[in-house]
Copies of this chain bind each other. A is one copy, B any other.
Amino acid sequence: MREVVLSTGGSILLYDTSGPYTDENLRTDVRAGLPKLRAPWTAERAARAGDGAPTQLGYARRGEITTEMEFIALREGVSAQTVREEVAAGRAVIPANVNHPEIEPMVIGEAFLVKVNANIGNSAVSSSIEHEVEKMVWATRWGADTIMDLSTGKDIHQTREWILRNSPVPVGTVPIYQALEKVGGRPEDLTWEVYRDTVIEQCEQGVDYMTVHAGVRADYVPLTARRKTGIVSRGGSILAAWCMAHRRENFLYERFGELTEILRAYDVTYSLGDGLRPGSIYDANDRAQLAELETLGELGRLARDMDVQVMIEGPGHVPMHKIKENVALQKRLCDDAPFYTLGPLTTDIAPGYDHITSAIGAAMIGWYGTAMLCYVTPKEHLGLPDLEDVKQGMIAYKIAAHAADLAKGHPGAQAWDDALSDARFEFRWEDQFNLALDPATARAYHDETLPAAPAKQAHFCSMCGPHFCSMKITHEIRSRHGEDAEPVAV
């Protein structure tokens, strides 16, 4: 948690994802990695249970509260019992690989604060390892609750290692990307064995959740033929190509039980990928998407039966009037498993501003029950995000997530808005800046028109000037007539 001290003498605690990087009293060393907070917890459990230690879901089901659950309860301001119950019911997940001791545990579920994921990762075209680690730290600085490493270029293993050892938040991946690199980029050359070995490699490293496109069944691929934008998920298109080339069922679907056993051994969480998500307003909520969603529900039940935690990924591009239906279907078909959605974008017409087209959809889908939002940056559809894009995407999505928390009536969410509104009404400019999602930008915008230090005490701002400040006039009315003024007789 981060404490914001106010000029009134009070303070407010805000949820914080940045780990030790923003703690003045701690030094971090990228080469050494972060302190291993969870190491004693997992060691203690392993000592009791041996190699067969249960997953968080396993513990939750047997009524046992883990240290991770206690940590999360403190962060969320709820009881540890609530955390345990939500995990046990499959309505929440705690992505926490036993081999990733560096993270500060967090929970993803409708009963908790809406979370935001930031995608980073190099592609064949650009970027470097150091740069990706910097992006990860930067994303958590702006509030990323998890990050996904979507690297597809060379040095995938090494990039991931650096990110994992330095990340205070859970890390997700899409193993099929690395598996495809191993077979020279030819989808038809993929095999279960190559994929399995890749998953084990990543589990060993400490990846906390993995996107698995096991729901792209061969039968569903032709359902995309009349779409406007076909298949837009990279993983989905790779597996569709494999199915078509071999005229066989998706090997991830056929080997799902074996795969689940591997994930269970490390307590890695499934993020069941929506390989057939719509890539345009036209394709939203179509047969291909809903057929896959039904299969994701079936796979989710299988995984939970084996004590493996499950999230379900969602779209994509959805106009506003189809968002609620989308969430309702996901809840029904997937037994209330946490929904993890990309946006959705509510229109296709604004490339360059898709952090905004999608923040609209993200706020709404969060309100309707989505547990985690995958951010979209201004570069979506156009290029790879740089640090500024990561920041812009994160801020748009923290706004969406918090607006959703407010609308859901999450306990405590409104205290932040109230603190900022109080500061605004009382002309406490420094408090307003410090409480803002982006204090430096708020301060800079204020200073552009009223730069002098006295303006920080001014009872007006440059928008209206002193004569027209409505809040100043309100204060004058109140001071003359009292807060509890009775109606004037007219």
User: Could you tell me which A residues sit within 8 Å of B by CB distance?
Assistant: 123-126, 152-153, 177, 180, 185, 187, 217-219, 221-222, 224-226, 228-234, 236-238, 240-241, 243-244, 247-249, 279-282, 319-321, 346-353, 355-357, 359-360, 363-364, 367, 378-384, 386, 395-396, 398-400, 402-404, 406-409, 414, 416-418, 420-422, 424-425, 432-433, 435-438, 441-442, 444-446, 448-450, 461-471, 473-478, 480-490
Contacts and interface: CB of A to CB of B under 8 A. Distances in A.
Contacts of A424: 229, 279-280, 348, 381
Query: In the assembly, how many copies of this chain are there?
Result: 2
Contacts of A435: 349
Given A126-B449, A399-B353, A465-B152, A484 B243 contact: no
Contacts of A363: 320, 346, 360
B470 A231 contact: yes
Contact of A477 (B177, B217, B241, B485): B241
Given A403-B347, A467-B185, A229 B379 contact: no
B230 A280 contact: no
B321 A367 contact: yes
Nearest to A275: B470
Chain A interface, >50% SS class: helix
B432 A346 contact: no
A442 B351 CA distance: 6
Most B-side CB within 10 Å, residue of A237, A359, A386: A237
B474 A240 contact: yes
A458 to B, nearest CB: 11
A180 B177 CA distance: 66
A464 B234 contact: yes
Contacts of A484: 222, 225-226
Most B-side CB within 10 Å, residue of A177, A468, A469: A468
B123 A476 contact: no
21 contacts: A125-B465, A152-B465, A224-B474, A225-B482, A225-B484, A229-B421, A230-B477, A236-B470, A241-B476, A244-B480, A248-B488, A320-B367, A320-B404, A346-B406, A347-B403, A350-B438, A351-B432, A353-B395, A356-B395, A357-B403, A381-B463
Given A404-B320, A407-B320, A468 B347 contact: no
Contacts of A219: 487-488, 490
A382 B463 contact: yes
A281 B421 contact: yes
A406 B232 CA distance: 22
Contacts of A240: 473-474, 477
A228 to B, nearest CB: 5
A438 B474 contact: no
Contacts of A282: 414, 417-418, 421
Most B-side CB within 10 Å, residue of A226, A467, A475: A467
Most B-side CB within 10 Å, residue of A378, A421, A450: A421
Nearest to A470: B237
A406 B281 contact: yes
Contacts of A364: 320, 360, 364
A25 to B, nearest CB: 27
Most B-side CB within 10 Å, residue of A224, A244, A485: A244
Task: Give the 6 A-B residue pairs with the shortest CB-CB distance, closest first.
Answer: A230-B474, A280-B421, A124-B465, A237-B470, A320-B407, A237-B473
Contact of A232 (B319, B471, B478): B471
B399 A485 contact: no
Nearest to A238: B473
Given A353-B438, A364-B320, A464-B123, A244 B488 contact: yes
A442 B382 contact: yes
Nearest to A319: B406
A418 to B, nearest CB: 5
A356 B399 contact: yes
A245 to B, nearest CB: 8
Given A359-B359, A438-B352, A488-B243, A177 B468 contact: yes
A470 to B, nearest CB: 4
A344 to B, nearest CB: 11
A465 B123 contact: yes
Contacts of A402: 347, 349
Contact of A125 (B152, B408, B450, B487): B450
A474 B236 CA distance: 10
A276 B254 CA distance: 62
A241 B353 CA distance: 42
A182 to B, nearest CB: 12
